[in-house]
Chain A
């Protein structure tokens, strides 16, 4: 079974600064997706960014980018120019493309605080 680990329960960053959230995963599969989701206080899950395992190029979405190290099974999220609205719980998630069902396996989450 696949596992996803986020070793940082809490992180904080100053507004306008950069922060990196860590995620590692364990799998024997070669075809999968990785995701970062944001859950603000409203508790609505919001997709931040996704990465396909077959793509070597790291995904970017505006101020959000990932560092995908497939051999190391590492998938960190970098948030640049942090804004107060970035404060939320962030979840790393794994989805297999080799087994059916498109189910997600989530990490434990990292609570990000943005200080003004």
Chain B
């Protein structure tokens, strides 16, 4: 099956610094990638949708200047948390969709997630 990786799996950074999270589709070309945020024991909240070569579309309430998303190629999207603060500590998950294998279904594959802790 299709594999999505994330790096790093866990990162600790100091308040005020920036941290970059990478999302890669390892064996397929991802037309669209999604970034989610998940707090403990809560659901996934969509932050933004990114398409290769174009600007990301952010969900309402998500600060685009704080969460910078770059989808530079069909296999790589990055999320940069700028000037991180303790309240940005969370679990960040990316997912990627492929071109349809059958007539009309776009499969969506999830990365293993990245735990961000801001001290």
Residue ranges of A at the interface with B (Cβ–Cβ < 8 Å): 33, 42-46, 89, 91, 97, 101-109, 111
Contacts and interface: CB of A to CB of B under 8 A. Distances in A.
Contact of A109 (B42, B57, B110): B42
B113 A43 contact: yes
A104 B43 contact: no
B46 A102 contact: no
B108 A111 contact: no
- Grouping DSSP codes into helix (H, G, I), strand (E, B) and loop, the B interface class, with mixed when no group exceeds half, is strand
Interface stretch (B15-23, B71-79, B90-98): B90-98
Interface in B22-71: 32, 34, 38, 41-44, 46, 49, 57
30 contacts: A43-B93, A43-B112, A43-B113, A44-B110, A44-B112, A44-B113, A45-B44, A45-B110, A46-B110, A89-B41, A91-B43, A91-B44, A101-B32, A101-B49, A101-B57, A102-B32, A102-B97, A102-B106, A103-B49, A104-B34, A104-B44, A104-B46, A104-B95, A105-B46, A106-B43, A107-B43, A108-B42, A109-B42, A109-B43, A111-B41
Interface string B83-108: 00000000101010100000011101
Contacts of B93: 43, 45
A102 B108 contact: yes
B108 A104 contact: yes
